[in-house]
Homo-oligomer: A and B are copies of this chain.
């Protein structure tokens, strides 16, 4: 049973114009190009709008000029706290730009992006931010066919085919690995999430492997473990590892896994870092407060989110030539308590 919403107390531009004693065109201009309407007139219009509680209808405007003031954001997951800071800073910044955020998550399933992109396109987004560089052709084509600017966030790759803003995940992987190697560790385990369709995890692992290779170390295959993207799984897998054949160091694909690994050590009464060193990647909220504090490399999520918001708004306004918009955000390494020199 469909219902037609009554317009009750909702005045339109027509009512405002009538009350201010001007034409609707002038009212429209007063909002969009205030400098084009004379002071006293503008004041009268503003008063009328205020008195009436006028709220402009962007949809009607969008219909005409094709800009909706809405930006899409697709993340793998909202849960897990991984992208929370990113989403928060991105959407807050967009609000500063007088834009709103249409959010959706694909649950790490790229196929999901097709219906999501379609749904966003139906709402005429002015631009879209996608986490990571791995995406299917179809949604990308749908977007570019309609001239909707795309920005990839979180991962930075020099040779990326879409403009991207983020940090170098290769580098993140190598930084923590080199740290572990420098501390003299030889028996190292890798705990990384599934890397198909996940360029961030893949790059991190590649960076880590490269650092291992560069050091001349040879890592047996069973030390490279794939681990689900959540604390419980990481904890369970680590406990098993500790019981089977504990390494002296564990390099985790991200801080969530590292947190699980540290809890596993607590559960098995293996002191960190005395018996085992653990590093994460990401520096999520809480990583610094853990006991021991987690040694990790920080992704400046808020900075990335803010930057991405600025850039996508700019792209949507000016038209765009992809290349100049890519930006690399530096990483920061934090040597906290979860790692220790082997002696």
Q: Which residues of A contact B (CB under 8 A)?
A: 1-6, 8-10, 53, 55-60, 62-63, 65-70, 77-81, 84-85, 87-88, 91-92, 95, 98, 100-105, 107, 115-116, 118-124, 142, 145-147, 230-232, 235, 259-260, 263, 266-267, 285-286, 288-291, 317-319
A317 surroundings in chain B (CB, below 8 A): 1-3
Report how far A134 CA is from B10 CA in the complex, Å: 25
From B79, B119, B122, B231, give the contact of A84 (CB < 8 A).
B79
- Residue among A8, A10, A116, A318 with the highest chain B CB neighbour number at 10 A: A10
Closest B-chain residue to A77, C-beta based?
Answer: B88
Given A57-B63, A103-B103, A263-B291, list of 16 further CB < 8 A pairs?
A6-B147, A10-B146, A58-B122, A58-B124, A59-B124, A68-B123, A78-B91, A79-B88, A81-B84, A84-B84, A87-B103, A91-B103, A101-B102, A102-B103, A235-B289, A260-B289
Using Cβ atoms and an 8 Å threshold, which residues of chain B touch A60?
Answer: 63
Q: Is the CB of B145 within 8 A of A9?
A: yes
Query: Nearest B residue to A287 by beta-carbon distance?
Result: B231
Partner of A70, one of B9, B102, B116: B102
- Please determine whether A59 and B63 come into contact, CB atoms closer than 8 angstroms: yes
* CB-defined contacts of A123 to chain B, threshold 8 Å: 58-59, 68-70, 100
How far in angstroms is the closest Cβ of chain B from A285? 7
- A4 CA / B6 CA spacing, docked (Å): 33
The answer to whether B104 touches A95 (Cβ under 8 A) is: yes
List 13 contacting pairs A-B, 8 Å CB cutoff, sorted by A: A3-B317, A3-B319, A4-B65, A9-B145, A9-B146, A79-B81, A80-B84, A92-B107, A100-B104, A100-B120, A101-B102, A259-B286, A260-B289
| Across-interface contacts of A56 in B (CB, < 8 A) | 122
Residues of B within 8 A of A124 (CB): 57-59
Contacting A290 at CB < 8 Å: which of B84, B263, B289? Answer: B263
Question: A338: shortest Cβ distance to chain B, in Å?
Answer: 13
Whether A288 touches B105, Cβ cut-off 8 Å, given contacts A10-B146, A59-B62, is no
Measured in the bound complex, the distance between the Cα atoms of B119 and A285 in whole Å is 29
Contacts of A59 in B (CB 8 A): 59, 62-63, 68, 123-124
A99: nearest chain-B partner, CB-CB: B119
Beyond A55-B118, A119-B100, A267-B291, is A5–B147 a contact (Cβ under 8 Å)?
Answer: yes
